[in-house]
Structure formats: structure tokens, C-alpha cells
């Protein structure tokens, strides 16, 4: 596995945002990702130390840069000594016909699944997030303790964080999400993506990537889970369906803290308001 190439670095709260590029075997294209190294874990530190990692999965249309530039997450990561990993949201540059026709499908909209429809065979973001990227980080950055990891996400990335954690019991110490797509089998964003990537008739595979369906049969170790949603989110009723996930989790005895934040919308203004609390939540479990 070839080491990634650094393409930028910015000092922030004593640590560094370092952006990298590498050739992805899962996706058959070059991919970018950003790591925020807290001060103690950066390569410029006098005696770098190993730190736990927090994966962040972005939403529709985003790249790895949105959360790095807009959320202010670095302050809390520096305080708690946690590395923050921000990957991209889909393959790019493959020039598949129609890949950029819609903002909610194709480029920027990988939904963190492995597509089975042949046209989209390189849309394998599930493998990229769960296998290739962790292996690359472990082999390239000795200060990242990839065996001690948590995961979070926003919107489409919240869907990704929920489903990936539920499908991989024990892989993550904690889980959180902002405004996640909780029941994609039954909302327009999800049905469009799953029809395209899996085929319209492959409903069992749809369910295998739906947090509301997955939580019903979760039998892994305890997974502390925090979900924040804004009451002013314009996508709340039609696209997110948090009540479906809450009901399924309650029926299954899966503990989840779901908070409705009054007046907040779907944006990074919402995320920036509560991101420190999410990092502190993960730090508690990563350092238990």
C-alpha cells in the first residue's frame, strides 16, 4: 500500500490539518482525505504520542474540506487529544455517464455503500471507509491508534456512521450523528440512492444499509450513541425520520440519546454549535 501524498497543511489550535491524496484500490481513482493531528500527535511534536481517532462522514455534496473549514472541531480535538479523520464522500474523476447529473446521487453522494449495479461498481465507499482507509492510516501514521476509534457523521454521513457502526459490532467505541438519514428505505434521498446503487427490486440489500432496520437485530457490545437534530431542519419530516430509528431502538433495547435542538437547521451552523459536545462524548469512551 503506497503512502499518501500530503497536499496541504494548516496549523490550527496547536495541531495541524494535513490533507492527503492517494490512489484508492477500492474506488479505482485518486481520493483525498484530511487528518487533524492534535498537538501531541503531530509529526512536528518533540515526542509525538499515539492518540485515538474519530472518523467523520460528510453529507451530500460535501468533500473532506467542509467540516474541516466550517465546524471548528479542531479546538475540542486538540483539548482532548483526538485525531479527526475526514474522508471524501464518493469517487471522483471516473467520468461515469450521469455521475454529476444530480446533487443527491453519484459524485458527492456515495451513501457509504458498496454498489451492486454494474454501472456504479466503483462506488464502494463502505469498503473504503471500513477497510482501505483504516489500513492506510495504520500503515502511514504511527501516531494514530486506529484500533481505538469512534465514528460520527452528518446527514448522509450520519446515515453512514449509524449503519457502519451497527454493521461492525465492536469496531467503534462510540457513535454520534447530526441530522442523520435514519430510515433511507422510506425517504426520497434513500430510495433514489438505493434504487440506483442496488437496483429497485433488491429491497433486502436496502435494509442492510438502513439504520432503522439494522438496530432491530443489533446484538453486539454496548455502543454509546448520541444523535442531535434541529427542530428547524427543513429535511426533518420528509428525509430524516428520526422517530422511526428511535422507535426501533427502543423496541430492541438499544440505548440512544436523541436530542431535539430547538430552532436549529441542517447546516454547519447547527453542527458548530454542538460539535464540542460530540467530541467530548467520544473522548469519554475512547479514553475510558
Tens digits of per-residue pLDDT, 19-77?
999 999 999 999 999 999 999 998 888 889 999 999 999 999 999 999 999 999 999 99
Catalytic one among 26, 58, 150, 155?
155
Q: Which residues of 61-70 are buried (b: 16+ CB within 10 A; e: fewer)?
A: ebbbbbbbee
Nearest to 205 by CA among 216, 193, 223: 193
Nearest to 40 by CA among 17, 20, 14, 19: 14
Strand runs labelled E in 91-189: 144-154, 175-178
Q: How many domains does the chain have?
A: 1
Catalytic one among 159, 266, 278, 282?
266
pLDDT tens digits, residue range 85-105? 999 999 999 999 999 999 999
How far is it, in rounded angstroms, from Cα 161 to Cα 129? 10
How far is it, in rounded angstroms, from Cα 279 to Cα 77? 7
% of the chain residues with pLDDT over 70: 100
pLDDT, residue 224, reads: 98
β-strand partners of 21 = 5, 32
Quick one: cell of 215? 438496530
pLDDT tens digits, residue range 116-142? 999 999 999 999 999 999 999 999 999
How far is it, in rounded angstroms, from Cα 136 to Cα 146? 10
pLDDT, residue 45, reads: 85
Catalytic one among 24, 88, 233, 282?
233
CA dihedral 165→27→187→99, nearest 10 degrees, is 160
How far is it, in rounded angstroms, from Cα 196 to Cα 152? 25
How far is it, in rounded angstroms, from Cα 243 to Cα 22? 39
Nearest to 54 by CA among 66, 38, 65: 38
Quick one: cell of 110? 456515495
The enclosing domain of 280 has a CATH number of 3.40.50.1820
Mean pLDDT of the chain: 97
233 is catalytic: yes
273 is catalytic: no
Residue 173 pLDDT > 90: yes
Exposure of 262 in the CB half-sphere (CA atoms within 13 A): 0
Report phi then psi at 33, rounded to 5: -155, 160
pLDDT, residue 44, reads: 87
pLDDT, residue 43, reads: 85
Domain with 149 in it: 5-287
Residue 3 CA: distances (Å) to CA of 21, 91, 93, 176: 9, 19, 21, 30
Report phi then psi at 119, rounded to 5: -60, -30
How far is it, in rounded angstroms, from Cα 126 to Cα 208? 12
β-strand partners of 260 = 229
How far is it, in rounded angstroms, from Cα 170 to Cα 183? 23
pLDDT, residue 2, reads: 79
- 3-state DSSP call for residue 5? strand
pLDDT tens digits, residue range 224-249? 999 999 999 999 999 999 999 999 99
Residue 1 pLDDT > 80: no
How far is it, in rounded angstroms, from Cα 166 to Cα 256? 12
Average pLDDT estimate for 156-173: 98
102 is catalytic: no
Q: Which residues of 136-158 are buried (b: 16+ CB within 10 A; e: fewer)?
A: bbeeebebbbbebbbbbbbbbbb
- Whether the model pTM is above 0.85: yes
Amino acid at each position: 500500500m503506497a503512502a499518501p501524498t500530503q497536499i496541504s497543511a494548516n496549523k490550527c489550535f496547536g495541531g495541524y490539518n494535513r490533507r492527503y491524496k492517494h490512489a484508492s484500490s477500492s474506488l479505482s481513482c485518486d481520493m483525498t482525505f484530511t487528518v487533524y493531528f492534535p498537538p501531541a500527535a503531530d509529526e512536528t511534536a518533540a515526542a509525538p504520542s499515539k492518540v485515538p481517532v474519530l472518523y467523520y462522514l460528510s453529507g451530500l455534496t460535501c468533500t473532506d474540506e467542509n467540516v474541516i473549514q466550517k465546524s471548528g472541531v479542531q479546538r475540542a480535538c486538540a483539548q482532548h487529544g483526538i485525531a479527526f479523520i475526514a474522508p471524501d464522500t464518493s469517487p471522483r474523476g471516473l467520468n461515469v455517464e450521469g455521475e454529476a447529473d444530480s446533487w443527491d446521487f453519484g459524485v458527492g453522494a456515495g451513501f457509504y455503500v458498496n454498489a451492486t449495479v454494474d454501472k456504479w461498481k466503483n462506488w464502494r465507499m463502505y469498503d473504503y471507509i471500513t477497510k482501505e482507509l483504516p489500513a492506510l492510516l495504520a500503515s502511514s501514521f504511527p501516531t494514530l491508534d486506529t484500533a481505538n476509534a469512534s465514528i460520527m457523521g452528518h446527514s448522509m454521513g450520519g446515515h453512514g456512521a449509524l449503519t457502519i457502526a451497527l454493521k461492525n459490532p465492536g469496531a467503534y467505541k462510540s457513535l454520534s450523528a447530526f441530522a442523520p438519514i435514519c430510515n433511507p428505505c422510506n425517504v426520497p434521498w434513500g430510495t433514489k440512492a438505493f434504487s440506483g446503487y442496488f437496483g429497485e427490486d433488491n429491497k433486502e440489500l436496502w435494509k442492510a444499509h438502513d439504520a432503522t432496520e439494522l438496530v432491530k437485530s443489533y446484538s453486539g457490545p454496548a455502543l454509546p450513541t448520541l444523535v442531535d437534530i434541529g427542530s428547524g431542519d427543513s429535511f426533518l419530516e420528509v428525509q430524516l425520520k428520526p422517530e422511526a430509528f428511535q422507535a426501533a431502538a427502543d423496541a430492541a433495547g438499544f440505548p440512544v440519546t436523541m436530542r431535539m435542538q430547538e430552532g436549529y437547521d441542517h447546516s454547519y451552523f447547527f453542527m458548530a454549535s454542538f460539535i464540542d459536545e460530540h467530541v467530548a462524548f467520544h473522548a469519554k469512551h475512547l479514553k475510558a
